């Protein structure tokens, strides 16, 4: 991979998840220093532990990052989740809102003033390409469609072990690999994408 993110500080939320781990590796291969945030820190100090759905915890985590590196060049909002649930029950709406919206909102709020002051920066969030949504996916679809972002990507089904177990009869070759999605995120953080803003980019694999 070309080192298109040389010497940059890139924060990856949801850093210990299946996608987050791949994104961190791709970011590092592109020349940047990946700084992960997840619910639990790792022993090596590469991942900060924080519940980003909590505004205070998110502010504290980013304050620590900024005190160490003095800047954040790019923020990749990977944190989030999925679950099937009845459309008329409140709990899944609240849970998915916290996982998919609050985490991104609190992260953006923390880094945006620093980026504005420096006059540069990139923020990319993960939305979703959901079709057809269906009644039990209403809370998930709405939470993912409610974004505060500069750019976002909208992947279809990701090729993860969990999705393969859930849909064993599917054609996995049509799904989006984690590496392919990570490459799009790296591109959107790089100078090569400097003219792209306010975009919602489908990442759909072989549909």
The tens digit of pLDDT for each residue in 31-60 reads 999 999 999 998 777 899 999 999 999 999
pLDDT (0 to 100) of residue 123: 93
Give me 80's structure tokens.
């989030």
For residue 15, pLDDT over 60 is answered with yes
What sections of the chain are H helices per DSSP? 18-29, 55-69, 90-97, 103-118, 138-144, 161-166, 178-189
pLDDT (0 to 100) of residue 139: 45
More confident site: 189 or 42 = 189
For residue 112, pLDDT over 70 is answered with yes
**Secondary structure (3-state) at 49:** strand
For residue 128, pLDDT over 70 is answered with no
For residue 102, pLDDT over 70 is answered with yes
Indicate the range of 8-17, 25-34, 141-150, 159-168 predicted with least confidence.
Answer: 141-150
Give me 67's structure tokens.
């005190």
When pLDDT is averaged across residues 113-120 and rounded to a whole number, the result is 89
Number of Cβ atoms within 10 Å of the Cβ of 5? 26
For residue 7, pLDDT over 80 is answered with yes
Query: Please, what are the domains in the chain?
Result: 9-203 (3.40.50.720)
Bridge partner residues of 153 (DSSP): 126, 201
Work out the mean pLDDT of the chain and round it to a whole number: 86
pLDDT (0 to 100) of residue 171: 94
The tens digit of pLDDT for each residue in 49-88 reads 999 999 999 999 999 999 999 999 999 999 987 655 566 6
When pLDDT is averaged across residues 160-166 and rounded to a whole number, the result is 92
What's this model's pTM, rounded to 2 decimal places?
0.85
For residue 185, pLDDT over 90 is answered with yes
Percent of the residues in the chain that have a pLDDT greater than 90, as a whole number: 67
When pLDDT is averaged across residues 118-129 and rounded to a whole number, the result is 86
Give me 172's structure tokens.
């996995």
pLDDT (0 to 100) of residue 96: 80
Name the band, by pLDDT with cuts 50, 70 and 90, for residue 140: very low
């Amino acid at each position: 991979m070309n080192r298109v993110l040389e010497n940059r500080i890139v924060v990856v939320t949801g850093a210990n998840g299946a996608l987050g781990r791949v994104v961190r590796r791709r970011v590092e291969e592109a020349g940047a220093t990946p700084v992960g945030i997840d619910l639990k820190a790792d022993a090596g100090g590469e991942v900060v532990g924080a519940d980003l759905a909590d505004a205070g915890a998110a502010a504290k985590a980013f304050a620590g990052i900024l005190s160490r590196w003095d800047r954040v060049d790019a923020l990749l909002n990977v944190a989030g989740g999925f679950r099937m649930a009845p459309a008329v029950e409140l709990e899944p709406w609240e849970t998915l809102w916290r996982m998919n919206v609050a985490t991104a909102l609190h992260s953006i709020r923390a880094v945006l003033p620093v980026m504005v002051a420096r006059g540069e920066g990139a923020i990319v969030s993960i939305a979703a390409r959901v079709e057809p949504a269906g009644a039990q996916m209403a809370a998930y679809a709405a939470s993912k469609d409610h974004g505060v972002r500069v750019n976002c990507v909208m992947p279809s089904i990701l090729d993860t072990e969990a999705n393969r177990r859930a849909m064993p009869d599917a054609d996995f070759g049509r799904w989006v690999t984690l590496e392919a999605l990570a490459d799009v995120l790296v591109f959107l953080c790089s100078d090569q994408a400097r003219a792209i803003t306010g975009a919602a980019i489908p990442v759909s694999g072989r549909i």
